[in-house]
Amino acid sequence: MNLEQFEVGYNIPAKIGMDIKDVQTPSLIIDFNTFEDNVLKMKEFISNNNVKLRPHAKMHKSVDVANYQINFGGAHGICCQKVSEAEVFARSGIKDILITNQITDILKIQRLTKIAANNCTLSCCVDSIENIINIQNSAFQNNSIINVYIEYDCGAKRCGLDSFKEIQSLLDLIKTMSNIKFVGFQAYNGSIQHIEDFDLRKKNVQETCEKIKSLKSNFKKYSPIITGVGTGCFDLEVKENVYDEIQVGSYAFMDAHYSSLKKDSRVNNTINFKNALFVLSNVMSTAVKKQAVVDAGLKSMSVDSGLPTVFNYDLHYVNCSDEHGVIEDLDNLLKVNDKVFLVPGHCDPTCNLHDWYVVIKDNVVQNLWPVSARGFSY
């Protein structure tokens, strides 16, 4: 992409070679060295534990990040959550995509099967007979093959089936289909990823994985791939030896919530991923004593998992409105126009608020990566 055609401030937040102090704010920052380190740590982990990596691109929504994970981080494909996200990644040349959702709308199914007809291995989740029939009909019309994972409800109570009888009925139906191929089970218990207490998190992982072991044993004649797992519990879940593939997403960037989860001091090999994603903000007022106001508020980052943390300062971001963020600053450390790195509470929806990643090394802009699938939620 030719960035020279763009104007700083109007089209893009920075230019390559620019010092961090001149980057327009609020903007989304990737510390490349830390990002690279996180990616390589996960690559080493999957190699040591004999599992495949399919990182969740719904987190970053970036073709550049996805390609880096595939080319250098050991990933063999990606996940995403929406058909429109899959369209963005497929059109960029990524050849193996799993949509970890049920695609039930007829037009969306048609779009899904058209992606698969264009030299892309495309998979999705199913949990109903009607959905399977509709996918088969569209795939037949478009002369494509759709891989399906039957979603197993292993505790999330969101989507999927927990009845082996109902699962068998779907398998029997899929066997009669010419354009649908059963490849495995989607088994993801998202709620356990966010349990703060380690012992309780570990207990829930073990209970979840016992259910999956029973599933795997019951349907072993189908040689199913078991896919799932998230950043909050990936090491514990892999240790249970039930997963063939992991769908971690946030590990590459991390956020304030995942960074707050307690590790077990007794486990020496728990990977310590570090914060690589920041919202860069600028102090625009210190008029009120003992506080600094920055230009990053609700329109710059998501607070659904908590307020951001202030990086490299022992200060607290305590309140926000649309375009203002208040930092408690009892000793008046911050001055007007100081740049402040904020670690967002939840990286996924924060990334979806920005058009560009500003990629930095040693506080100098190295690249700009578009948030390619920003707003593609349909």
Q: Which domain holds residue 8?
A: 3-30+273-370
Supply the mean pLDDT for the chain: 95
Q: What are phi and psi for residue 123, nearest 5 degrees?
A: -125, 155
Query: Nearest CA to 119 among 137, 148, 102, 142?
Result: 142
pLDDT at 222 over 70: yes
246 and 135: one domain? yes
- Both 18 and 36 in one domain: the answer is no
What CATH number corresponds to the domain at position 109? 3.20.20.10
Q: How many domains would you assign to the chain?
A: 2
- Residues 197 and 138 reside in one and the same domain: yes
- pTM for the structure as a whole: 0.95
In a domain, 375, yes or no: no
Residue 360 is assigned to a structural domain of this protein: yes
Q: To the nearest 10°, the Cα dihedral for 23, 26, 31, 34? A: 160
- What SS3 state is found at 172? helix
Question: Which CATH number do you get for residue 357?
Answer: 2.40.37.20
151: Cα within 13 Å, side-chain hemisphere:
24
Spatial distance between the Cα atoms of 105 and 87, rounded to a whole number of angstroms: 16
Q: Does residue 140 lie within any of the structural domains? A: yes
223-240, pLDDT tens digit by residue?
Answer: 999 999 999 999 999 999
Same domain assignment for residues 43 and 23? no
Residue 87 included in any domain: yes
Q: 3-state class of 191 per DSSP? A: helix
Give the pLDDT confidence of 35-89 residue by residue, as tens digits.
999 999 999 999 999 999 999 999 999 999 999 999 999 999 999 999 999 999 9
pLDDT of residue 263: 67
Letter for the amino acid at 73? G
CA 205 to centroid of chain Cα atoms:
20
Q: H-helix or E-strand containing 133?
A: helix 129-141
Q: What is the Cα–Cα distance from 28 to 321, expressed in whole angstroms?
A: 18
**pLDDT at residue 268 in the model:** 42
pLDDT on residue 284: 98
Looking at the structure, do residues 36 and 26 belong to the same domain, yes or no? no
Both 74 and 101 in one domain: the answer is yes
261 in any annotated domain: no
203 and 285 share one domain: no
- The pLDDT of residue 4 is above 50: yes
196 occurs within a structural domain: yes
Same domain, 152 and 280: no
